[in-house]
Structure 1
Amino acid sequence: MGFCSALALWGAAILQPAAAAPVTAVDDEGRTVSLAQPAQRIIGLGPHTTELLFAAGAGDKVVATVRYGDYPEAAKRLPQVGDAHLLDLERIAALKPDLLVVWMHGSAAAQIDRLRALRIPVFYSEPRRLADVGSSLRRLGALAGTPAAAQAAADRYDAELAALRQRHAGRPPLRVFYQVWHQPLLTVNGQHMISDVIGLCGGVNVFGPQAALVPQISQEAVLTARPQVLVTSTLDGRPDDSLRGWQALKHFEPIARQRVVLLPADHISRPTPRLLLGARQLCEALEGFRVGMP
């Protein structure tokens, strides 16, 4: 089926009469997304967007996802329509979605513009702070017609976040270097969600003032910043080769004092309720490091 044929099929679908009241939500780009009725055929164009939709009670309305959109288990059974860099526009159109939930930094803008030309509503999702996860759940629940389930999930998340914040408030600060990737060496600045997690645990992101959201840095810059703790993520939270460049530096404080934290990647890199699993692990690790410190 060609792109134009898929467009015709999708256009016929949207002419069906609405069966429910209109719904509205503001996305993370500040755009108002309005639907004539709650969405029934949603595509999550990002791993975290798919996970958020399921968490908001809309899993049975998600008809496709992208590569790595693999949580919860039911998401693994969904058809995939591309990845963060290249989308299958014909397949997306053929699925006749009435809402696309897009990861802003993961999807090619030109491709999203082509989907917009089909008049498919697009909700941009880019949570930046821990508090944004609960808000995202509520807004997606509104668009999907699952406000009660979304509200319950958001309330649970907010309560767990508040408890963590209270437990670790006022703890002695620790200087933290977060390694996103090792070749090239990448970190996060103070506007990144991961930096918010570090702050929640009483850590200070040593590269917080950087201008880029995910800046490339040198090993010398890290040594000059003098972090007390090195944090990174791996696929399953187990050691891999990503720390090899640091292990030979016996006088590098995180190595010398064994202050290295390995987190499962999905528990720290995806802005979903599972982010609190990574936050809890990091907070507990930093608290353990504080024991015996002057």
Structure 2
Amino acid sequence: MPHPPRLASLVASNSDILAALGAAPWIVAVDNHSDAPGLESAVRVGPDLDIDVAVLAATRPDLVLASLSVPGQERVVQGVQDAGLGVLILDPVSVQDTLADIRSIGHAIGLSRQGEDVARALDAELDALHTTFPVPPRVLVEWWPRPIIAATRDSWVTDLLARLGAVNALADRAGRSSPLTLAEVWAARPDLIVCSWCGAKKLRPEVIEARGLGVPVVAIHESGLGRPGPRLLDGARQLHAALRASVPT
């Protein structure tokens, strides 16, 4: 692979990782949702689930970074592979997976030391946010309001909450996310609900409050919780503050 490599990122979490590694100038193609700094010269190739493979191929990337953390990207990956492009496919379900992905991307693009530094710093900063509560608070992270969709057991959210001293209120429910009825939300007994709607132009925690559950609600942009990458620290800090404000220690 020539150095610096020509890179393409199909999801925002990978773009955030590349930017944290200092590799944003190497990105020649990127999905429409990515908002990491330094992407001004990259060609936009469409939303993460509707990538224009022909436009992507025309940028001649040496390596395409995809992630199955975006449900449905398997179809996009197949199209990229069919076009003969080299693809690094990530599939994180935990914070440890995310740290490993940062290291893997760093290694793949010749920035192993930077990958190690970024992963270690993220790990340490998450450790510093841990709080010991008398009873670990139960947190429900909502990805979408109608139907209600929330993070379940096999989401990095479960691990992230554990790092903070809390638990995912849906940790006993299989899968990465699940649609829920209001009764199921009630049965999960959350102490805190997080409004982190993916793709929403505006977060409206008042919509969740209006359901009448009597549970504190905090709004955290999906970039802080929905992207398994360095910006999980942003979400973790906001969660830490919300937990400290709403749950007795």
Common fold by TM > 0.5: yes
Map of 1:109-188 to 2, 5 A cutoff?
109-164=74-129, 167-169=130-132, 171-188=134-151
- Whether 2:195 is the aligned partner of 1:253: answer no
In structure 2, the partner of 1:17 is none
Identity of aligned residues (%): 25
Length-normalised TM-score, structure 2 = 0.88
1:120 Cα deviation (Å)? 2.1
Shift >4 Å, 4+ stretches: 36-39, 237-240
Q: Cα RMSD over matched residues?
A: 2.6
CA distance, structure 1, for counterparts of residue 190 and residue 203 of structure 2: 21
CA distance, structure 2, for counterparts of residue 222 and residue 129 of structure 1: 23
Assess if the C-alpha contact under 8 Å between 2:154 and 2:174 holds in 1: no
In structure 2, the partner of 1:286 is 243
In structure 1, the partner of 2:224 is 267
2:92 alignment partner, SS class:
coil
1:287 alignment partner, SS class:
helix
1:216 alignment partner, SS class:
strand
Give the letter aligned to residue 82 of structure 1: G
Q: Which runs of 5+ in 2 are unaligned?
A: none
Of 162, 165, 168, the residue aligned with 1:199 is 162
Q: Which runs of 5+ in 1 are unaligned?
A: 1-35
In structure 1, the partner of 2:52 is 88
CA distance, structure 2, for counterparts of residue 278 and residue 79 of structure 1: 28
CA distance, structure 2, for counterparts of residue 119 and residue 234 of structure 1: 35
CA deviations 1:188-209 (Å, max 9, x no partner) are: 1121012222222222222211
Of 42, 51, 56, the residue aligned with 2:21 is 56
Greater Cα shift, 124-133 or 41-50: 124-133
Larger Rg: 1
CA deviations 1:167-205 (Å, max 9, x no partner) are: 424653112222211111111112101222222222222
1:173 alignment partner, SS class:
coil
CA distance, structure 2, for counterparts of residue 283 and residue 110 of structure 1: 36
CA distance, structure 2, for counterparts of residue 39 and residue 116 of structure 1: 22
